[in-house]
Amino acid sequence: MEKMIWTLVLLSAVWSGVAAITVNIPQTVYEVARGDNVTLPCTFTTTVTSPKLVVVTWTALAQVEGALDDIVLTYYYPDDETDVQDNYKDRASPIVDLKTGTANLKLNSVTLNDNREFECQVQIPKDPKGQTADKARLLVLVAPSPPICKTQGKAEYGQNINLTCVSEEGSPAPTYKWAGYTVANQPRVPDPKTTDQGGILSLFNITKDTSGFYICTSSNKIRSATCNFTLSVMPPSMMSIGSTAAIIGGVAAVLIFLVIIIYCCCCKNKKKDAIYEMGIHEEEHHDKEPVNGESRHGNGQETNIRPDEAKVDLSYDRRKDYDDRRSDYDDRRSDYDDRRSDNTDRRKDYDDRRSDYDDRRSDYTDRRKDYDDRRSDYDDRRSDYDDRRKDYNDRRSDYDDRRSDYDDRRSDYDDRRNKYGDRRERYDDEGRYNDRRDPRSDNRP
Ligand SMILES: *[C@@H]1O[C@H](CO)[C@@H](O)[C@H](O)[C@H]1NC(C)=O
Ligand SMILES: *[C@@H]1O[C@H](CO)[C@@H](O)[C@H](O)[C@H]1NC(C)=O
Ligand SMILES: *[C@@H]1O[C@H](CO)[C@@H](O)[C@H](O)[C@H]1NC(C)=O
Ligand SMILES: *[C@@H]1O[C@H](CO)[C@@H](O)[C@H](O)[C@H]1NC(C)=O
């Protein structure tokens, strides 16, 4: 047996003498915890005795097809010079010894980016044949981060829900295991339909009894971490009441938000327009005395904007797109001048109409005075009429007096007539005057 091994070694020595160089990394995978230091071993043999030049190159191979390899470092013997790439500065160093055929790489403070294949290559002049390189995988281990556990679906009687468990970190990728406990914290015998795959615990047709504690353990080679999820299954009505309230609240909140947004947008736009117009005016009258309020045809809001604020806004806009805005500005300026002259015309027109109005007003005052005069005249005539009326009444009473006087005299006459009648009767009775009677008396009945 020993003879056989020695024969093999001898054979390989002869063969290697023919094939020249051999580079070897003993293992295919090296594990290291993140943050730790690691030394990747690499050995080589050569038939060249005391070589004049040796070049050792460590390369981090591309992880995906088409990506580029990253050279970590290149070591040159006998200069004992090392070129380290920027990504590995102060972290990577060669450990080379020609006598023992050593060309190791020491890598400090390993990160998850170092979780890849590394290649060791040794080049010796006049020995180009054979296996000049070998590679190994560096597995960077990361403890699982505390898993995040959630529910999918409604935790309501009769529903099917999932409990999910994910660790954001962990290398190699963690595996997950769920364990259920009752509300009394007793280990639960899982329902036969329950499944636990890839960190998803699926619970079917859940009931009040499904409530309890659910512990997920996330673990890999290095360590494990857990979450403790409390599940409380509600009756459907309670859930629907809760969710209805939540929906109403949500809708109300959205509406209020929209109203505020719309209001703010409106205000902002108005203000922006005002600022822009103000900016033009500000520029226009920059070196002039401020003109009177009318010719600025402001709409009241303009006056709320501080001039310096407007100028800042304007200068910012100008810087951005000066030429466009300048032509735009010229247009608006001529437009403004037009409106200004138009305004002046209208003002003159207004003044004319005003003086016209003043004339008419004085005219009216005159006519009013005239009316007042006529009124006093009327009052005079009225009092005159009243006087005459009084006069009439007096005369009337005078007439009445005279009438009563007449009536008196009439009754007096009637009395005398009666007396006359009496005397006549007496004459008739006596018959003394029948002969001497007046012819007029014959006509009497
Ligand atoms: C890694 O190597 C550096 C430098 O050689 C040393 O300062 C550090 O303590 C090492 N870290 C560990 C975890 O060994
Ligand atoms: C639970 O997970 C399974 C598998 O991922 C999926 O098919 C199912 O739709 C999930 N159920 C709910 C309620 O999210
Ligand atoms: C769910 O469970 C209830 C009793 O807990 C049962 O009456 C019902 O049939 C179950 N539904 C399904 C779909 O399994
Ligand atoms: C999970 O949490 C509950 C209450 O917070 C506690 O009673 C229970 O012991 C915890 N379980 C584990 C395994 O930590």
Cα 109 to ligand 1 centroid, rounded to whole Å: 7
Give domain status of residue 35, yes or no. yes
So what's the pLDDT on residue 301? 42
Residues 124 and 158 in one domain: no
105-162: pLDDT as tens digits? 999 999 999 999 999 999 999 888 889 999 999 999 999 999 999 999 999 999 999 9
Chosen domain end from 231, 255, 281: 231
Give domain status of residue 406, yes or no. no
So what's the pLDDT on residue 291? 41
Residues 73 and 121 in one domain: yes
State the helix-helix crossing angle for 236-284 and 307-320, rounded to 10 degrees: 90
Cα 120 to ligand 1 centroid, rounded to whole Å: 23
Find out whether the peptide bond into 128 is cis, omega within 30 degrees of 0: no
160-181: pLDDT as tens digits? 999 999 999 998 999 999 999 9
Give domain status of residue 78, yes or no. yes
**Ligand 2 atom 2 nearest Cα:** 162
The best mutation among 36, 107, 108 to test binding of ligand 1, ranked by most ligand atoms within 8 Å of the C-beta, falls on 108
- CB distance 216 to 163 below 8 Å: yes
The best mutation among 205, 207, 210, 233 to test binding of ligand 3, ranked by most ligand atoms within 8 Å of the C-beta, falls on 205
Q: Tell me: pLDDT of 47 over 90.
A: no
Residues 41 and 136 in one domain: yes
Ligand showing the shortest atom-to-Cα distance for residue 206: 3
Tokens found for residue 229: 């999820």
So what's the pLDDT on residue 7? 47
Residues 48 and 72 in one domain: yes
282-321: pLDDT as tens digits? 444 444 443 443 334 434 344 444 444 444 454 545 555 5
Residues 122 and 193 in one domain: no
Task: Give the mean pLDDT of 344-352.
Answer: 66
Ligand showing the shortest atom-to-Cα distance for residue 191: 3
Chosen domain end from 141, 168, 195: 141
List the one residue out of 243, 248, 246, 178 whose CA is nearest residue 213: 178
Task: Give the mean pLDDT of 82-108.
Answer: 95
Atom of ligand 2 lying closest to residue 198 CA: 5
Task: Give the mean pLDDT of 199-209.
Answer: 95
Residues 124 and 157 in one domain: no
Give domain status of residue 436, yes or no. no
Chosen domain end from 231, 258, 277: 231
- CB distance 189 to 196 below 8 Å: no
Ligand showing the shortest atom-to-Cα distance for residue 106: 1
So what's the pLDDT on residue 444? 44
Which of the four pLDDT bands, split at 50, 70 and 90, describes residue 423?
low
Which residue range(s) make up the domain with 225?
A: 148-231
Ligand showing the shortest atom-to-Cα distance for residue 203: 2
So what's the pLDDT on residue 290? 39
The best mutation among 151, 152, 176, 205 to test binding of ligand 2, ranked by most ligand atoms within 8 Å of the C-beta, falls on 152
Please indicate whether residue 186, judged by its CB atom, sits closer than 6 Å to ligand 4.
Answer: no
CA angle, residues 387, 390, 392, in degrees to nearest 5: 110
So what's the pLDDT on residue 78? 92
Q: Tell me: pLDDT of 273 over 60.
A: no
Task: Give the mean pLDDT of 79-89.
Answer: 94
Cα 183 to ligand 3 centroid, rounded to whole Å: 21
Residues 89 and 55 in one domain: yes
Task: Give the mean pLDDT of 77-82.
Answer: 94
For the purposes of burial, counting CB atoms within 10 Å of the CB of 72, is it exposed (0-12), middle (13-18) or buried (19 or more)? buried
Distance CA 58, CA 384 (A): 139
Residues 42 and 109 in one domain: yes
Please indicate whether residue 205, judged by its CB atom, sits closer than 6 Å to ligand 3.
Answer: yes
Atom of ligand 4 lying closest to residue 228 CA: 1
Give domain status of residue 32, yes or no. yes
Total structural domains within the chain: 2
Residues 136 and 26 in one domain: yes
Question: CATH number for the domain including 206?
Answer: 2.60.40.10
Give domain status of residue 212, yes or no. yes
Give domain status of residue 222, yes or no. yes
Residues 45 and 137 in one domain: yes
So what's the pLDDT on residue 262? 76
Residues 27 and 134 in one domain: yes
Residues 34 and 55 in one domain: yes
Residue 234 identity (one-letter amino acid): M
Cα 323 to ligand 2 centroid, rounded to whole Å: 60
Give domain status of residue 86, yes or no. yes
